A and B are shown apart, each in its own frame.
Chain A
Amino acid sequence: MSIFSFMFKNGKQQQVKTLPQLLQIFKQSSDFATVEFQTNGYHFCISYFDSLIDPKLLQQQVICRLQRDLSSYASLALEDLQQIIPVQRIEVTADVEMIEAKLLKGFAMIQLKGVADHCALVNLASENLGLRPNNDSENEFSVVGPKVGFVENIGTNLHLLRRQIVTPHLVFRELTIGSMSQTKVVIAYIDGIVNEQTLQTVVQRVSEIEFDIMFDTSLFEQILSDNSSSPFPSFVSSERVDKIVYALIEGRVAIFSDGSPYVITGPSTLFDFFTSPEDYYLPWLLGSFFRLIRMIGVMFSILASPIYVAVLTYHYEMLPKDLLGPIIFSRSNVPFPPILEVLFLEITIELLREAGARLPTKVAQTLGIVGGIVIGQASVEAALTSNILLIIVALGALASFTTPIYKMSNTIRFIRFPIILFAACWGGIGIVFAACLLLIHLGKLQSFGSPYLVPLYPFRVKDFADSFIRSPYHLTVKRPSYLRPLTLWRYDPKKAKKKKDIDE
Chain B
Amino acid sequence: MKRALYFMLVALLVLSGCKSSRIVDQIQIIHAMGYDVKNGKYTGTAIYPTFKQGPMTKPDILTTESSTTYDLIPRLSSKSALPIEEGQIRLVLFGQQFAKQGIAEIVHSLARNNKVGSHLQLAVSKGDAEELLRITAETTLSDTLYLSNLIEQNIREMNLPKTNLHIFLYNYFGKGRDPFLPYLEKKGDTVKLEGLALFKYGHYVGRIDLRKSFLVKLLLDETKNGVYQLPISQNEKKGRVLLENLFAHSHYSLKKGSSPVIDIHLRIRASIRDYPMWLDLSGQRSFQKVSEQMEKKLNQDITNLLSFFQKKGVDPLGIGDFVRSKTRHWDEEAFYKQYRHLQIRPHVKVDIVQTGIGE
The CA-CA distance from A448 to B115 in the complex, in Å, is: 49
Does B24 contact A319, Cβ atoms closer than 8 Å? yes
A317 close to chain B: CB less than 8 A: yes
Chain A nearest Cβ from B137, distance in angstroms: 16
Chain A interface: which of B83-91, B235-243, B253-261, B262-270? B83-91
Given A316-B87, A425-B13, A426-B16, the answer on whether A325 and B24 have CB atoms closer than 8 Å is: no
A326 within 8 Å of B (CB atoms): yes
Q: With A316-B88, A317-B117, A425-B12 known to touch, is A328 a contact of B25 (CB < 8 Å)?
A: yes
Q: Is B55 an interface residue (CB 8 A)?
A: yes
B22 touches A313 (CB 8 A): yes
Q: Is A325 touching B49 in the complex (CB atoms < 8 A)? A: yes
B357 interfacial contact with A, CB 8 Å? no
For chain B, residues 45 to 59, give those with C-beta under 8 angstroms from any C-beta of chain A. Answer: 49, 51-52, 54-57
Asked if B165 is an interface residue, CB under 8 A from chain A, the answer is no
Q: Scan residues 1-41 of chain B and give those whose CB is less than 8 A from a CB of chain A.
A: 12-13, 15-16, 19, 21-25, 27, 29
Instruction: Let me know if B16 and A425 touch, CB within 8 A.
Output: yes
A329 to B50, CA, bound (A): 9
Residue contact A317 to B115, C-beta cutoff 8 Å = yes
Bound CA span A427–B20, Å: 11
Does residue A332 face the partner (Cβ distance < 8 Å to B)? yes
Whether A317 and B51, one on each chain, are in contact in the complex, defined by CB atoms closer than 8 angstroms, is: no
Contact A312 B24 (CB under 8 A): yes
Q: How far is the CA of A316 from the CA of B115 in the complex (A)?
A: 10
A314 contacts B88, CB within 8 Å? no
When the two chains form their complex, are residues B23 and A312 in contact, meaning their CB atoms are under 8 A apart? yes
**Total contacts A-B at CB 8 Å:** 69
Main secondary structure of the interface of B (DSSP, over half): loop
Residue A189 at the chain B interface, CB threshold 8 Å = no
B314 within 8 A of A: no
Interface membership of B124, Cβ < 8 A: no
Partner among B21, B56, B85 whose Cβ is within 8 Å of the Cβ of A325? B56
- Tell me which residues across on chain B come within 8 A of A312, comparing CB atoms: 23-24
Please indicate which of the listed interface residues B19, B24, B54, B56 has the most CB atoms of chain A within 10 Å of its own CB. Answer: B24
Q: Which residues of B contact A321 (CB under 8 A)?
A: 88, 90, 145
Residue ID in chain A nearest B145 by CB atoms: A321
A229-266 interface code vs B (CB 8 A; 1 in, 0 out): 00000000000000000000000000000000000000
Indicate if the CB atoms of A328 and B24 lie closer than 8 Å. Answer: yes
**What are the residues of chain A within 8 A of B88 when measuring CB–CB?**
316-317, 319, 321, 324
| Least CB separation from A336: chain B residue | B23
Decide yes or no: A326 and B21 within 8 Å by CB, A317-B87, A321-B145 being known contacts: no
**Nearest CB in chain B to that of A331: its residue:** B25
Once bound together, how far apart are the Cα atoms of A312 and B29, in whole Å? 13
In the bound complex, do residue B49 and residue A316 qualify as a contact, i.e. CB atoms below 8 Å apart?
Answer: no
B54/A329 in contact, CB under 8 A: yes
* A422 interfacial by beta-carbon distance below 8 Å: yes
Cα distance, A316 to B90, chains bound together (Å): 14
Residues A426 and B23 in contact, CB atoms below 8 Å apart: no
A313 to B21, CA, bound (A): 6
Shortest A330–chain B CB gap in Å is 8
Query: Mask for B108-143, Cβ within 8 A of A = 1, else 0?
Result: 000000010100000000000000000000000000
A348 CB to closest chain B CB, in angstroms?
A: 21
Min CB gap B215→A, angstroms: 31
Cβ contact within 8 Å between A314 and B19: yes
Q: In the complex, A311 Cα to B88 Cα: how many Å?
A: 13
Output the least CB separation between B160 and chain A (Å): 19
Interchain CA distance A425-B8 in the complex, whole Å = 12
Contacts of A404 in B (CB 8 A): none
A330-380 contacts to B, CB under 8 A, are 330-332, 334, 337-338
Whether the pair A337, B21 counts as a contact (CB closer than 8 A) is yes
| Across-interface contacts of A325 in B (CB, < 8 A) | 49, 51, 55-57
Given the complex, which residues of B lie within 8 Å of A456, measured CB to CB? Answer: none
Distance between B58 CB and nearest chain A CB, rounded to angstroms:
11
The 5 closest A-B pairs by CB, nearest first: A317-B87, A425-B16, A329-B51, A328-B51, A331-B25
- B positions within 8 Å CB-CB of A: 12-13, 15-16, 19, 21-25, 27, 29, 49, 51-52, 54-57, 85, 87-88, 90, 115, 117, 145
Give chain A's interface residues, CB within 8 Å of chain B. Answer: 311-314, 316-317, 319, 321, 324-332, 334, 337-338, 421-422, 424-427, 430
12 pairs from A and B in contact (CB 8 Å cutoff): A313-B21, A316-B22, A317-B115, A321-B88, A327-B24, A328-B29, A332-B52, A338-B23, A421-B12, A424-B16, A425-B13, A426-B12
